[in-house]
């Protein structure tokens, strides 16, 4: 058998009150794509942070190409050949693609940056991976997906042995995922070892050769992809037997009968904002779930922001409970009973330095006004109720949000908007980064809220999820609402895809 390029033995990492990694063994071979799998909080990101020198391990050893190493910091990890591309791309958007690939290690001649050589080498690297990217264009002229590919090109060129991708596909559409996978396969064939973290099991089965399952900070096992089917894998992840994927919401769709008649809670007529979204009509009744489908950048979020006063419309009208209304700010919208859970948990969402409790009550407190502070008892009650309902871990309301795993942070953000007891709940990618069990729970919760009379606008890149929940699906393409399809049981992901692709209902 071949020697692993990277091996860890008995790795231990403790945070105050939590053992994040408890004696984990893990091996990565050259030329394989290896999945790291586990529930939210299982320890995946922590293991990666240990491997990349972000957190020092409290115990255990790291062996690289046969010799033990001590990874003391990110630079050392890089020198040892371990590179990471995080979900948030850390590049300089207004520099060119070539500059981004060579930042900090520009080819020089007589002490000056040799621009021509830099562009030439960047173009070569991009071509080797079969990417169609103009390296002299500014990075921000490309989509996030392409920017992420540029980050990969850079990472691999800096040090090409081990490439770690932590949830790289969570904000990519299908074509972009395909493009990313093509690059991953090419790198694998060149002998790079790739560690892939994702909550999308279908993607794991498509791209990975082997997998390591973590549960509660412990190694559960190491498997070849063919050794376990998805149901078996999920039971290994959660440590319980499962009858079938149906229990995870992965199977049958619920019957979606739309609520009968009545005036719409919200009605948009020709609502528009120049450059963001073309005029669109949309009616949402109480008890109704409207899905928004479309590729990344198609205008789904932009359309929703007009309904929350986050952006101002410059045409059309908006009626709320029959009365024409202008939403000047999110505060206006909240006062009208509208909640918006943003996809952007970093920039528009959570405050890492505050506790779980403080983050959860933030929107409710803002809606009441700061002159009427919620009592501490009320805050505790809200926090505990939603920690339990969404199974937020750790279940301590006083934990700092920045110390929670990615998926658990997402749940805190969702809880914040659920407690505002709104009449219209706008959810933009609410299950991104959430593990498969918790995702099914959240879908159930949304369906129940609608059954109790809440109007819901549900935005997600996962069509299966949109179809499972929505009564009607608005399809956006190039900033235009091109169709609204009734989810009558005949609607398939394929038909929605075809509508997205062609710009008209097929």
Ligand X SMILES: Nc1ncnc2c1ncn2[C@@H]1O[C@H](COP(=O)(O)OP(=O)(O)OP(=O)(O)O)[C@@H](O)[C@H]1O
Binding site for ligand X (CB under 6 A): 15, 18, 20, 38, 40-46, 394, 403-408, 435
Give the phi and the psi of residue 247 in degrees, each rounded to 5: -65, -20
Q: How far apart are CA 294 and CA 271, in angstroms?
A: 18
Closest CA to 472 of 291, 285, 319: 291
User: To 10 degrees, the CA torsion angle through 415, 417, 418, 421?
Assistant: 150
Nearer to Mg ion, 217 or 406 (CB): 406
Residue 87 near Mg ion by CB under 5 A: no
Q: How far apart are CA 11 and CA 51, in angstroms?
A: 10
How many residues touch Mg ion (CB under 5 A)? 3
Nearer to Mg ion, 148 or 267 (CB): 148
Shortest Cβ distance from residue 291 to Mg ion (Å)? 27
Shortest Cβ distance from residue 47 to ligand X (Å)? 7
Helix (H) or strand (E) holding 234: helix 230-238
Q: How far apart are CA 379 and CA 331, in angstroms?
A: 21
Shortest Cβ distance from residue 409 to ligand X (Å)? 8
Nearer to ligand X, 118 or 234 (CB): 234
Task: Retrieve residue 129's tokens.
Answer: 């991976």
Question: Choosing among Mg ion, ligand X, none, which partner's interface includes residue 96 (Cβ < 5 to 8 Å by kind)?
Answer: none
Torsional sign, CA 134, 139, 141, 142: positive
Nearer to ligand X, 153 or 404 (CB): 404
Which residues, 6+ apart, have CB-to-CB distance to 270 below 8 Å?
279, 280, 281, 315, 316, 317
Residue 170 near Mg ion by CB under 5 A: no
What totals of helices (H) and strands (E) does the chain contain, helices first? 16, 22
Residue 422 near Mg ion by CB under 5 A: no
Residue at shortest CB range from ligand X: 407
Candidate segments 5-13, 184-192, 270-278, 400-408, binder of Mg ion by CB under 5 A = 400-408
Nearer to ligand X, 46 or 267 (CB): 46
**Cβ(310)–Cβ(340) under 8 Å?**
yes
Q: Which of 406, 430, 437, 474 binds Mg ion (CB under 5 A)?
A: 406
**Cβ(193)–Cβ(5) under 8 Å?**
yes
Shortest Cβ distance from residue 46 to ligand X (Å)? 3
Shortest Cβ distance from residue 482 to Mg ion (Å)? 35
Shortest Cβ distance from residue 360 to ligand X (Å)? 16
Q: Write each residue from 23 to 62 as x if it is in contact with Mg ion (CB under 5 A), else as -, in one continuous string.
A: ----------------------x-----------------
Question: Choosing among Mg ion, ligand X, none, which partner's interface includes residue 46 (Cβ < 5 to 8 Å by kind)?
Answer: ligand X
Which residues, 6+ apart, have CB-to-CB distance to 502 below 8 Å?
none
Shortest Cβ distance from residue 366 to Mg ion (Å)? 29
Which residues contribute to the site for Mg ion (CB under 5 A)? 45, 405-406
């Amino acid at each position: 058998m071949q020697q692993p390029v990277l091996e860890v033995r008995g790795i231990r990492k403790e945070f105050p009150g939590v053992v994040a990694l408890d004696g984990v063994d893990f091996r990565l071979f050259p030329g394989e794509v290896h999945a790291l799998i586990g529930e939210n909080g299982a320890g995946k990101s922590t293991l990666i942070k240990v491997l990349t020198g972000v957190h020092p391990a409290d115990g255990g050893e790291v062996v690289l190409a046969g010799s033990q190493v001590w990874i003391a910091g990110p630079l050392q990890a890089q020198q040892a050949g371990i590179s990471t591309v995080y979900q948030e791309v850390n590049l300089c958007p207004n520099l060119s693609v070539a500059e981004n690939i060579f930042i900090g290690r520009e080819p020089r001649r007589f002490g000056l940056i040799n621009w021509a050589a830099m562009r030439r080498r960047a173009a070569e690297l991009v071509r080797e991976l079969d990417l169609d990217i103009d390296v002299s264009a500014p990075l921000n002229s490309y989509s996030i997906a392409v920017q992420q590919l540029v980050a990969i090109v850079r990472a691999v060129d800096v040090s090409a042995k081990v490439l770690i991708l932590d949830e790289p596909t969570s904000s990519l559409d299908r074509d972009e995922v395909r493009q990313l996978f093509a690059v991953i396969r090419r790198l694998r064939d060149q002998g790079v070892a790739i560690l892939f973290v994702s909550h999308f099991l279908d993607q794991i089965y498509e791209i990975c050769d082997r997998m390591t399952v973590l549960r509660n900070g412990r190694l559960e096992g190491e498997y070849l992809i063919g050794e376990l089917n998805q149901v078996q894998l999920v039971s290994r992840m959660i440590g319980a037997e499962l009858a079938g994927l149906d229990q995870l919401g992965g199977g049958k769709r619920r019957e979606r009968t739309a609520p009968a008649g009545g005036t719409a809670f919200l009605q948009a007529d020709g609502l528009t904002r120049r450059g963001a979204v073309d005029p669109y009509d949309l009616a949402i009744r109480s008890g109704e779930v409207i899905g928004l489908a479309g590729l990344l950048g198609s205008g789904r979020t932009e359309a929703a922001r007009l309904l929350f006063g986050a952006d101002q419309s410059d045409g059309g009208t908006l009626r709320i409970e029959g009365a024409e209304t202008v939403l000047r700010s999110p505060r206006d919208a909240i006062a009208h009973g509208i909640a918006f859970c943003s996809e952007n948990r970093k920039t528009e969402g959570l405050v890492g330095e505050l506790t779980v409790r403080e983050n959860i009550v933030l929107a409710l407190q803002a809606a009441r006004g700061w002159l009427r502070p919620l009592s501490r008892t009320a805050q505790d009650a809200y926090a505990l109720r939603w920690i339990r309902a969404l199974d937020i871990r750790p279940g301590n309301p006083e934990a700092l949000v920045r110390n929670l795993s990615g998926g658990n942070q997402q749940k805190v953000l969702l809880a914040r908007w659920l407690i505002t007891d709104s009449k219209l709940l706008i959810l933009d990618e609410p299950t991104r980064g959430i593990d498969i069990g918790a995702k099914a729970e959240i879908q159930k919760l949304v369906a129940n809220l609608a059954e109790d009379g809440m109007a819901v606008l549900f935005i997600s890149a996962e069509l299966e999820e949109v179809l499972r929940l929505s009564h009607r699906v608005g399809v956006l393409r190039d900033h235009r609402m091109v169709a609204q399809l009734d989810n009558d049981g005949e609607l398939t992901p394929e038909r929605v895809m075809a509508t997205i692709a062609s710009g008209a209902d097929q």
